[in-house]
Amino acid sequence: MDKIKIAMYWGAGCGGCDVALLDIDEKILGVASIADIAFWPLAVDAKLKDVEAMPDGAITLTLYNGAVRNSENEHVAKLLRKKSKLLVSFGSCACFGGVPGLANVTNREEIMDYVYKQTFSSVNEEGTIPLHIAKMPEGNLELPILYDTVLMLEDVVDVDYFMPGCPPTVDQINQFLGIVTNHLTTGSPLPPKGAVIASDKTLCDECGRKKQVKSIERIYLPFEIDIDPTKCMLEQGVICIGPATRAGCGAKCLNGNQPCRGCMGPTAAVMDQGGSMLSALASIFKVSDRESQLSEDEILTLMSQVKDPLGTFYAFTMPKSIIKRKIKERKKGAVKQ
Ligand code: SF4
Ligand code: SF4
Ligand code: SF4
């Protein structure tokens, strides 16, 4: 069999997904035995023009990690889509917008103002804001356009498979590479288009902690109490996003006695991870059952204990949520790019 071509791209993300692919250790040799790396900026010196010169569909598999946050991310996503037979939304930033997606609580104008005007920099004391095109003595200098709204990969191109996780686990990666390798070598079928490479259950189904308490009176931040490692976090008053999160990570954070932050995103049964978690919290507070007996003030007092609700309930999924972004009025005279 001729070697296939694979590609990996790093959009708006932290680079952890690139490292996760390297983490599959010796299995990477198995990949290398069937595949040549056509494009992977972190690991090989291939250029975009090399990809542009390839015939459409020449790359068998592209793993795109990171959200789509600027014009370069979108351009490369569209180029790789055209050149790839299979495109995988790799990691929570690509699947749901991830942590960069929290920028949707503000906008480009405010971000630029904060970073370049309000924050002191010893190398940019004048607070110069970078332009898309800057005229320099040597010629025009062009930078990607930063978008107002952070997007998911599926917002800009058709995606074949989704592999959530921040980053995806070694097991998920190995499972998927095994499926693709078997497909290429034995002709075994690929998963249906749109499949999520992770469990269909919630993290609570996978978590071994004891659940007994039916209601709680208050919420604690993890450092405010000694968390019993055998009992459910939520039942101890610590917000754990497990009820609204897809299983498949092996309950990593719980094993470290820390609550789940929701990085695997919602299951297929959940439309909005934050909304689903709010409803789980309301039921353990008994807000939903006792709603008629509780005054609005009591409900507000209970819910006001949740510090940073957006960052708690939508830490990884703001662009995929029903809210998607906070609407901000553009200041008069602000430059549109
Ligand atoms: S999903 Fe997590 S590890 Fe991957 S790029 Fe985003 S922040 Fe980094
Ligand atoms: S809420 Fe968290 S700690 Fe409780 S069972 Fe679910 S995953 Fe486990
Ligand atoms: S426990 Fe939650 S936040 Fe931690 S790795 Fe698993 S899904 Fe992600």
* Percent of the chain's residues with pLDDT above 90: 72
Confidence of residue 297 (pLDDT cuts 50, 70, 90): confident
pLDDT of residue 302: 66
Q: With beta carbons less than 8 A apart as the criterion, state whether 148 and 183 touch.
A: no
pLDDT score of 225 more than 90: yes
Strand order in the sheet with 161-163: 35-39, 4-10, 59-65, 84-90, 161-163
pLDDT mean over 89-100:
98
Ligand 3: nearest atom to the Cα of 264: 7
Q: Which residue has the higher pLDDT, 301 or 18?
A: 18
Contact 68, 77 (CB under 8 A): yes
Q: Which amino acid is at 47?
A: K
Among 313, 307, 194, 205, which residue's Cα sits nearest to residue 265? 313
- What would the two tokens of residue 68 be? 């789509």
Confidence of residue 336 (pLDDT cuts 50, 70, 90): very low
What digits encode the pLDDT tens for the residues 240-276? 999 999 999 999 999 999 999 999 999 999 989 998 9
Q: Which atom of ligand 2 is nearest to the CA of 254?
A: 3
Stretch (H or E) spanning 300: helix 296-303
Dump pLDDT digits (tens) for 115-164: 999 998 899 999 999 999 999 999 999 999 999 999 999 999 999 999 99
pLDDT at residue 286, as a whole number: 66
Assess contact for 325 and 102: CB atoms under 8 A: no
The Cα 225–Cα 30 span in angstroms is 46
pLDDT of residue 306: 87
- Give the domains, in start order, of the chain with CATH numbers: 4-100+148-186 (3.40.50.700), 107-147 (no CATH), 203-320 (no CATH)
In this prediction, residues 206-219 reach a mean pLDDT of: 87
Q: Is 252 in the pocket of ligand 3 (CB under 6 A)?
A: yes
What pLDDT sits at residue 218? 86
Q: Could you report the per-residue pLDDT of 276-292, keeping only the tens digit for each?
A: 998 888 788 766 555 55
Ligand nearest to the CA of 207: 2
Band (337; pLDDT cuts 50, 70, 90): very low
Q: Please answer whether residues 243 and 280 qualify as being in contact, where contact means their C-beta atoms are separated by less than 8 angstroms.
A: yes
How far apart CA 331 and CA 336 sit, in angstroms, is 11
Q: Which amino acid is at 73?
A: N
Pairwise CA distance, residues 60 & 55, whole Å: 12
- What is the best residue among 213, 235, 260 to mutate for testing ligand 2's pocket, by most ligand atoms within 8 Å of CB? 260
Whether 199 contacts 175, CB under 8 Å: no
Please answer whether residues 295 and 229 qualify as being in contact, where contact means their C-beta atoms are separated by less than 8 angstroms.
no
Query: Ligand 3 centre from 94 Cα, in Å?
Result: 16
Give the model confidence (pLDDT) of 172-203 as tens digits.
998 998 899 889 889 999 999 999 999 999 99
pLDDT averaged over the chain?
Answer: 90
Cis ω for the linkage preceding 167 (within 30 of 0): yes
Q: Is the pLDDT of residue 335 over 50?
A: no
